[in-house]
Structure 1
Amino acid sequence: MNLDGLLVNLVASAVAVVSVLAVTFAVTVARGRKDTIDTAWGLGFVAIAAVGVVVSAGEPRAWLVLTLTAVWGGRLAAHLHERNSQRGEDPRYTEMAERAGGNPYRHLLLVVFPAQGAIMFLVSLPLQAAAHLTAGLGVLDVLAVVVWLIGFLFETIADAQLARFSANPENKGRVLDSGLWRFSRHPNYFGDACVWWGLFLFAGYHWIGLLTVVAPVVMTTLLARGTGKPMTERRMLSSRPGYADYVRRTSGFVPLPPKRA
């Protein structure tokens, strides 16, 4: 592990996070859409992974991590931008603005964006650590790619299935319970969690890298118990009559065979 390089990387990544969020806030005000941060979320990690390549002077593992992060982050940014462009403001941000009162952009600037930036920096720690490992590519890197690929496929396929289902007017008010959604109520969130466990494995060659396990733990917790699954399900239970039955027979996160009625 190149500790000097890692320390420089931590500082440079913090600057990258602040820069990404500053640009995002400017675009948010210009567009008048508070959910612009959704598009910037994945791109922020791409910027951090790119910092790792630059600071490490192009270590092979840093390039591999950047490639996978760019594929994941680019797809997610494009998907969320297209999805949000086809509907009104995300209810989560509307609720936050209503609770804050006054100027909603002030609340975004002082509360939402700093929290997002702190989480982005924390979750990116495996990317930063992996970029400065001196060990050559090995079996653990292969395992990391496999776990990442499983997660990426789950997330991508689940998002595509949901988009296709939602685009059909006949499905208004109905619950998607086929495809991957038959085995998990949130297969896209499960896939996202797997992506981050895969990226963490790249840092597993050194004890400092192992300490970054806090990153996938935090991400998985947010998806399964934080702003992901719980907020989505509260909204679905109040708007979809069949969702309560879907909850009873379908796994909440990890894909499992559905329960019999």
Structure 2
Amino acid sequence: MDNYSVWQLALFSLIACCVIMALVWVWSYRIKNAGVVDIFWSYNFPVIAIILFLLAPGFELRKQLICGMVFLAGLRLGTHLAIRITKHLREEEPRYAHIRKEWGANAEPKMFGFFQMQAASNVLLAIPFFIIAMNTEPQLSVFEYAGLVLWAVSVIGEAVADKQLANFKKDTANKGKVCDTGLWHYSRHPNYFFEWLIWVSYFVFALGSPYGYLAIVSPAIILYLLLKVTGIPTSEQQSLRSKPEAYKKYQATTSVFVPWPKAKT
């Protein structure tokens, strides 16, 4: 096996993600639905995992663990999104339709740039994976075992939250209502919470490798995006537009993020 540097592996990953996103943009242009970018943003992480598994010089068992974790989590989330989005493939999600309307005549060129930025974000967020896959120490540390356990809990939690929401929406009697069952009884966004915990688990796992502390950038970025940018703010705005009264009542009784009973005021 060639001894590739971390910069070469990052470049290979960036090229792969950019090519994938360029092809996805062509598809989205033809169907007029930019929402498909979310599917392949998730699938790009398994692509990076495969590149690292095949080319990184790290200890084999460590690579198997982290690449397997990344592959399974990305595949599960991407497939969940694919099932949801392809059900209304010809109907663009409101947040992307709003962006397209704001960009006007320049929407498609800007959308291509947005897709490429998503590809770059895949590689930036993969910093923990690069750090871990470069570690040649032939023994796992307590951080790696702890990260593995936290990852398993987080993936199961996210899958449960997604399933509970899907089952709620599937019941026609719930049309116009807000999902407040299971984990959604305690948090308005338990799926986002467990998604963030998955990234925390990668950080914990990376602490067993040299320079592992740098991996904090990934859960920090994910947390900021979820709380301030594309996650919770856009989701709550859409819910308030579609069912204002019901959602306001829901907001008053639930935690915004952590699945825990809201403190009484």
State the TM-score, normalizing by the size of structure 1.
0.92
- Partner secondary structure for residue 81 of structure 2: helix
Within-5 A mapping of 1:1-261: 5-57=5-57, 59-87=60-88, 88-110=91-113, 112-135=114-137, 136-240=139-243, 241-259=245-263
One-letter code of the match for 2:48?
A: I
Residue 57 (structure 1) shift: 4.8
Structure 1 portions without partners, runs of 5+: none
Q: 1:62-88: CA deviations, max 9, x gaps?
A: 221111111111111111111112232
Gap change, CA 1:4 and 1:77, over 3 Å in 2 = closer
- Partner secondary structure for residue 34 of structure 1: coil
Rounded to whole Å, the distance in 2 between the matches of 1:193 and 1:74 is 16
Rounded to whole Å, the distance in 2 between the matches of 1:247 and 1:180 is 14
- Partner secondary structure for residue 213 of structure 2: helix
Does the CA contact (< 8 Å) of 1:49 and 1:128 recur in 2? no
One-letter code of the match for 2:127?
A: L
One-letter code of the match for 2:164?
A: Q
One-letter code of the match for 2:163?
A: A
* Percentage of pairs with the same residue: 31
- Partner secondary structure for residue 173 of structure 1: coil
Rounded to whole Å, the distance in 2 between the matches of 1:4 and 1:201 is 25
One-letter code of the match for 2:67?
A: L
* Number of residue-to-residue matches in the alignment: 258
Q: Which aligned segments of 4 or more residues in structure 1 are displaced greater than 3 angstroms?
A: 258-261
Residue 255 (structure 1) shift: 1.4
- Partner secondary structure for residue 105 of structure 2: coil
Residue 158 (structure 1) shift: 0.6
- Partner secondary structure for residue 205 of structure 1: coil
Does the CA contact (< 8 Å) of 2:187 and 2:259 recur in 1? yes
One-letter code of the match for 2:173?
A: E
Residue 30 (structure 1) shift: 3.8
Rounded to whole Å, the distance in 1 between the matches of 2:209 and 2:133 is 12
Does the CA contact (< 8 Å) of 2:140 and 2:208 recur in 1? no
Does the CA contact (< 8 Å) of 2:143 and 2:206 recur in 1? no
Residue 244 (structure 1) shift: 0.7
**What is the RMSD computed on CA atoms of the aligned residues?**
1.9
One-letter code of the match for 1:185?
A: R
Q: 1:192-214: CA deviations, max 9, x gaps?
A: 00111111222212442211211
Q: 1:33-85: CA deviations, max 9, x gaps?
A: 21111110111011111111122257221221111111111111111111112
